[in-house]
Amino acid sequence: MSTTANVRLQLFTVFVGIVLLLIKFYAFKTTGSNAILTDALESIINVVAGVVALYSLIIAGTPKDRNHPYGHGKVEFLSAGFEGSLIMLAGLIICVKSVYNFFIPHELSSLDLGLVLTALAGGVNYGLGWLLERRGRKTDSLTMIADGKHLKSDAYSSAGLVAGLLIIWLTDIIWLDNVVALLFGGLIAYTGFTVTRHSLAGIMDEADEALNERVIKILNNARTENWIDVHNLRIIKYGSQLHIDCHLTIPWYFRVREGHDEVDTLEAVLQAAFTNDVECFVHLDPCIPQACRFCPKQNCPERQQDFEKTIEWLPENVLLNQKHGYQYNA
């Protein structure tokens, strides 16, 4: 259901983007302002990116199959990379045109109308971006979050352009139009770079420190006396889907059924904590004598040392491929 709702919202976003694109190009045609052209060109990127995001959401929502055992979520990173490249290209084009018009000036007209239309488009973009980002966070959709942030950044650019155009209108200093356009062209290019950088990080399975800390906190809050430690934690994103690997240390004398019950409990905890799909691969490890000092299990028939304290699970120990007891071995 969430996938269908996301697709419908993204489709609406594309439609609104097309309307705003026409409004901005009408404003540019009326005023001849390079600053307004920067906003119009970025709207082309918004529409193209919106279409790509729409396609990405449809593909990412496709169930796993024989050829894609981990699902199709990685397409969201490709979508973000494509979007980032287009944003950078638009920013560079804007910068080149602005420099060109420093040497070959052009007339500006009807700036008052341009101000109104640019402000209107910026307000709509901000509202739509806020809605997309909110929906994306609710459903853990990276594509919608990225598109929402992009539209909000476009709205911030529009606000800056309105301020710049207002100064030009009041002072009648025409060359400031190129300065404003050059400034925001560079800002747009940098935005494209950050979007591309994020997509490459996802494709390369770069660790998400915030996500690691969130998962570790969830496990800390849900730990039982039978979970002696969790280590070798690794998280891979497939769009809005998460694949979590870890090693769980349990009492060495547990039967297979008892160990499997602990795995089921851990998986249920993680799946309940996220609204998106979570797939867990949990490897069971037997406890070691060195861990007795830090094992809270009561009435353990095999305890060899008295309990001293509980080791708090932190990225410093949970991400290591090492049982926690080894590091305290004398």
Q: Which one, of 233, 19, 191, lies nearest residue 117 by Cα? A: 19
Judge whether residue 141 has pLDDT over 70.
yes
**pLDDT 10s digits, 76-117:** 777 778 877 877 887 787 788 778 777 776 566 666 777 788
Domains of the chain: residue spans and CATH: 2-203 (1.20.1510.10), 209-328 (3.30.70.1350)
Predicted local distance difference test score (pLDDT) of residue 153: 73
**pLDDT 10s digits, 204-231:** 777 788 889 999 999 999 999 999 999 9
Here the tokens at position 262 are 């602990």
SS3 316: helix
Predicted local distance difference test score (pLDDT) of residue 213: 94
Predicted local distance difference test score (pLDDT) of residue 330: 33
Question: What distances in angstroms separate CA 323 from CA 40, 91, 162, 328, one per listed residue?
Answer: 57, 50, 58, 10
Which residues are CB-contacts of 297 (< 8 A; sequence separation ≥ 6)? 225, 226, 228, 251, 303
CB contact at 8 A, 24 and 121: yes
What DSSP element (H or E) covers 117? helix 111-139
**pLDDT 10s digits, 1-44:** 467 788 888 889 889 989 988 888 888 888 777 767 767 777 78
∠ Cα 105 108 110 (to 5°) = 175
**100-104 CB contacts, 8 Å cutoff, 24+ apart:** 101/34, 101/177, 101/178, 102/175, 102/178
Residue 168 class from Cβ within 10 Å (0-12 exposed, 13-18 middle, 19+ buried)? buried
What DSSP element (H or E) covers 215? helix 209-222
Residue written as token pair 């996500």: 211
Q: Model's pTM, two decimal places?
A: 0.66
Judge whether residue 254 has pLDDT over 80.
yes
CB contact at 8 A, 290 and 329: yes
As a whole number of angstroms, the distance between CA 77 and CA 198 comes to 8
As a whole number of angstroms, the distance between CA 244 and CA 270 comes to 9
The residues that bridge with 313 in the sheet, in sequence order, are: none
Average pLDDT over residues 135-140: 79
Question: What distances in angstroms separate CA 279 from CA 62, 136, 244, 246, 265, one per listed residue?
Answer: 16, 20, 6, 11, 13
By percentage, how much of the chain surpasses pLDDT 90? 25
What integer best gives the mean pLDDT of the chain? 82
Describe the strand order of the beta sheet including 229-238 as a list of residue ranges. 229-238, 241-250, 278-286
Predicted local distance difference test score (pLDDT) of residue 139: 76
Q: Which one, of 253, 248, 325, 315, lies nearest residue 294 by Cα? A: 325
**pLDDT 10s digits, 272-317:** 998 777 889 999 999 988 889 989 898 899 999 898 888 899 999 9
By percentage, how much of the chain surpasses pLDDT 70? 92
**pLDDT 10s digits, 32-75:** 777 677 677 777 877 887 888 888 888 877 777 778 777 777 77
Here the tokens at position 307 are 């309990």
